[in-house]
Structure 1
Amino acid sequence: MARREDRAFYVHPLSVVRADRGWTQQNLVDVVARRLGNAGNGRQKAWRWEHRGVTPDRPSQLALAAELGVPPERVRQEPWPCWLPDGDPVRTDFGWTQPGSISALEDAVEHGMRDRRGFMKLTGAALVGLAEEWLRIEPSELAAAVRGGQVTHAFVDRLEDGVPRLRFLEAERGGLRARQLISAELGMVVEVLDSSSYTTEIGKRLFALAGELSRMAGWACFDAGLHAAAQRYWTAALHVAHAAGDRTMGANVLKSMSLQCYDAANHREALALARSAYEGAGQTTPRARAMFALREARAHAALGDPAACERLLGEAEHAISKSGPADEDPPWLGYFDGAEFWAQVGTCYLDLSRARHRSEHSAKAEAHLERTLQSLPRTKIRDRATYVTRRATAQAQLGELDHACHLLTEAIPLIQQAPSRRNTQHLLTARASLPLNKRDRRVRELDEQLTELELAS
């Protein structure tokens, strides 16, 4: 059971504003009404602003801004909800140096665990600019730091030995439960980097370890729906990967950031990040190149560009055919097996079907996702929930609504075993896309179980 503070989850900048001032949604509506000099409405208006993406009219925005002390010029210059005072920004202004990387890590460790914002803070030019800056800068040689005790290779070995356990824990138990342990481990490595002495070679290993732990912490937050915290950790991880001189690790961080944009339907930003990852990965293994090609292919698919998507799928298939033993790959690439490859291909066709409304794309998505689930190890519970849900969407696109409902029902106990706010949201989205109303016998029981799942998450 997650602790109470883990459930303080802000789905919208307005949620942060209300929490800071102790307002209920009715209080918010009353404040706006008082400023406008009218009788106001029920709390449903504020609920729609927070949960349904409804934009308040300009008078309501200006009234709220006046209550919050925000100048009206800012309301006119910035779109809703960007002008709301919703907490500290996610910093990106760290130097691409060893001290800058340590500062980025310290910022992530200090603020990441307390950041409950379930929405992205970095968007648009700031987000894409971070990727482009990383793509241009060449790593400088690490200088040995002389600040404390001498770090040995054996000590770093022990730190590295714990990473597979943390990966397994996050995949098995979900990001909300694992992120505290990952962040604690990261904090210890940051302390070693900041207060110890080590050779250039050991320094590179420490930075690489900190980069991977920061990426994992970001992924755990992303899985838990804590998107601003995820961006903090990933920004730090990108700087640290640069300090470690590891282009492939940096590309993997950008790949994760691209997926976050994809989930938020910011598809052009997702494409820019995925392209930077693919182009900037440097000398890496064929399996890694296949993974990066697939991430860019998914962004093109979401944008409805079948030609670019098919080209990248071809590049990914060619690369995976050249891959050698798994021990030649970076350790973090262990998840990318045959089942994952086919899952990503199937997702591309699923997105093309959404964008282009062509049944052949739905049929290809169904075939690839069925193949995925047949070969996916039973131990990968969270992944199975993800791909069962995607297959349900493919079945719905093919008009097989009974099978789609059955698959969505099948996903519920999997999410209960491996809790994931991300999977829960995907499941709710898939249900909402079914052309069935609540009175239909095929979805009555499903909807009851989904309501319980949503409340539990």
Structure 2
Amino acid sequence: MRLVHPLSVVRDEQDWTYQDVVDIVAKTTKRSADRRKAWKWENWGVEPDAESQEALAAALGVPPGEVHQLGWPGWLPDGGPIRTGFPWTMPGTLDALDDTLEHAMPDRRGFMKLGGQALTLLASQWLSQAPNALAAALAGGSVDEQLVEDLEGGLPRLRRLEAALGGHRARQLLHTELATVTGLLKEASYTEKVGRRLLRLDAELARLAGFASFDAGLHAAAQRYWSSGLRAAHAADDRALGANILKSLSLQCYDHGLVVDALALATAAVEGAGHVTPRTRAMLLLRQARAEAACSNRVACDRLLSDAERQMARSSGTDDDPAWTGYFDAAEFHAQAATCYADLRRQRLAETHFATALGLMPSAKGRDLATYTIQSARTHTALGDADHAVHLLETAAQLVATAPSHRNTARALAARAELPMTTKDPKVQRLDQLLATLSA
């Protein structure tokens, strides 16, 4: 079960129902104990009045001063913070990875815990801190290059499984792989070269586990994986991999409407990536362009799209692209550009690029096909073609059923809410049945 709000965490830990919450408040305030009030606090973003908050805080042992200082829902004891203050050293990196391995899998918080200053500080530290020379471990068995190569050889399979199975099913497997490699870093002996490869492997596994959690709607867990993965990439002195993790954090902020934070993280990724291949540069520039578009910065977005297009034109099959850029092809380029134009309400341009992207995208990329089919449906709705939007959403719902994704389910429901059609329409009734199956 995902915990969608800090109040969800409190109820889960206290074993409270919605009725228990309003009964606690009513006992002090003498107000009605309608359980729907607590449901709205948790699911609709409704803020309880000051008297109700004080009553609930008293039951939880939270001092009144903390309630006034932190505000709703910041004062709720929602399972503890995500620690980000580890030193940017090898011991600090291992401590961060241990903390993630201990807390990320049981973390079911479906809301972001880090935001604003905490995220931008993490990005600025990554930009400014120079990686220390790696000190090889002295105890334990020896790790040679062949073993690292065998471990690295499993990454393509893990990437395919995560995309095919969906984040909820894949995250346990990725977490276990991350624990294995972290254990080698802590307990084995190895050369500096091997140590950097292990750190790079850990960083990529943390990135994948973070994305799996993100796809499953477990946003605090995703932030745990990504913040520790960023440190592992930093310790390995792999600037491009660190930039890719910041790109993921930026996307999470974008999804939550935190567009200023999304732009700060995407900008840091571009600035700190170092010397990268043209395709990698284009990928990072497009994330920055999406953030600029979300901020309604049309001129900046157009400039970045042009830069990204030039970089893509320079890329070739002989470039030594990182393996994690494998998903970023011409189809993905057009899909990302289309999303920028949709955010800028340039719907005709958006639909042209979505059509190109969907025409180029292979059927094996079921989750991505679902994502951009839904986005295309929203564009058709905005253009006044609701019938075609319904058809696209039906197609997307079938794709989501085979490639499960909490994010795509939420997107499909949001796109359905935008349709200007009555529920008596047979096409809409059929679509609603499909979406109800996904939600269940």
Please give the range of the TM-score, normalised by the shorter of the 2 chains. Answer: over 0.9
**Secondary structure at the counterpart of residue 3 of structure 2:** coil
Moved more, 68-77 or 213-222: 68-77
Give the match for residue 21 of structure 1.
14
Letter in 2 for 1:394: T
Moved more, 145-154 or 378-387: 145-154
Give the match for residue 356 of structure 1.
none
For 1:405 and 1:248, how far apart are their aligned partners in 2? 40
For 1:336-355, list aligned pairs within 5 A: 336-353=328-345
Superposition deviation, residue 327 in structure 1: 5.6
For 1:228-307, list aligned pairs within 5 A: 228-307=220-299
User: In the alignment, is the contact (CA less than 8 A) between 2:286 and 2:305 conserved in 1?
Assistant: yes
Superposition deviation, residue 28 in structure 1: 1.3
**Secondary structure at the counterpart of residue 326 of structure 2:** helix
User: In the alignment, is the contact (CA less than 8 A) between 1:183 and 1:217 conserved in 2?
Assistant: yes
Cα shift readout 1:240-290 (whole Å, capped 9, x = no counterpart): 000000000000000000000000111101011000001110011111110
**Correspondence for 1:371 among 324, 332, 356:** 356
For 1:89-104, list aligned pairs within 5 A: 89-104=81-96
For 1:148 and 1:347, how far apart are their aligned partners in 2? 50
Superposition deviation, residue 449 in structure 1: 2.0
User: In the alignment, is the contact (CA less than 8 A) between 1:326 and 1:334 conserved in 2?
Assistant: no
User: In the alignment, is the contact (CA less than 8 A) between 2:277 and 2:319 conserved in 1?
Assistant: no
Query: Could you list the runs of 5+ residues in structure 2 that have no partner in the other structure?
Result: none
Could you list the structure 1 runs, at least 4 aligned residues long, displaced by more than 4 angstroms after superposition.
none
For 1:72-151, list aligned pairs within 5 A: 72-151=64-143
For 1:310 and 1:369, how far apart are their aligned partners in 2? 17
TM-score (norm 1): 0.94
TM-score (norm 2): 0.98
For 2:53 and 2:400, how far apart are their aligned partners in 1? 38
In structure 2, the CA distance between the partners of 1:46 and 1:217, relative to structure 1 (3 Å rule), is same
For 1:103-252, list aligned pairs within 5 A: 103-252=95-244
Moved more, 79-88 or 208-217: 79-88
Cα shift readout 1:53-91 (whole Å, capped 9, x = no counterpart): 222222221221111111111111113211110002111
Give the match for residue 397 of structure 1.
382
For 1:400 and 1:52, how far apart are their aligned partners in 2? 30
Superposition deviation, residue 29 in structure 1: 1.6
For 2:159 and 2:439, how far apart are their aligned partners in 1? 25
Cα shift readout 1:132-190 (whole Å, capped 9, x = no counterpart): 11111111221222121111000101111111111000001101000100110110000
For 1:55-70, list aligned pairs within 5 A: 55-70=47-62
**Secondary structure at the counterpart of residue 55 of structure 1:** coil
What is the total number of aligned residue pairs between the two structures?
A: 440
For 1:39 and 1:255, how far apart are their aligned partners in 2? 47
User: In the alignment, is the contact (CA less than 8 A) between 2:108 and 2:218 conserved in 1?
Assistant: yes
Give the match for residue 26 of structure 2.
33
For 1:441 and 1:93, how far apart are their aligned partners in 2? 55
Cα shift readout 1:165-224 (whole Å, capped 9, x = no counterpart): 110000011010001001101100000000011101001100000000011100000000
Give the match for residue 3 of structure 1.
none
Cα RMSD (Å):
1.1
Q: Does 1:415 align with 2:400?
A: yes
Tell me the percent identity.
54
For 1:304-323, list aligned pairs within 5 A: 304-323=296-315
Query: Could you list the runs of 5+ residues in structure 1 that have no partner in the other structure?
Result: 1-7, 354-360
Letter in 1 for 2:31: N
Letter in 2 for 1:9: R
Give the match for residue 11 of structure 1.
4
For 1:54 and 1:435, how far apart are their aligned partners in 2? 26
Cα shift readout 1:410-429 (whole Å, capped 9, x = no counterpart): 11111110111011111111
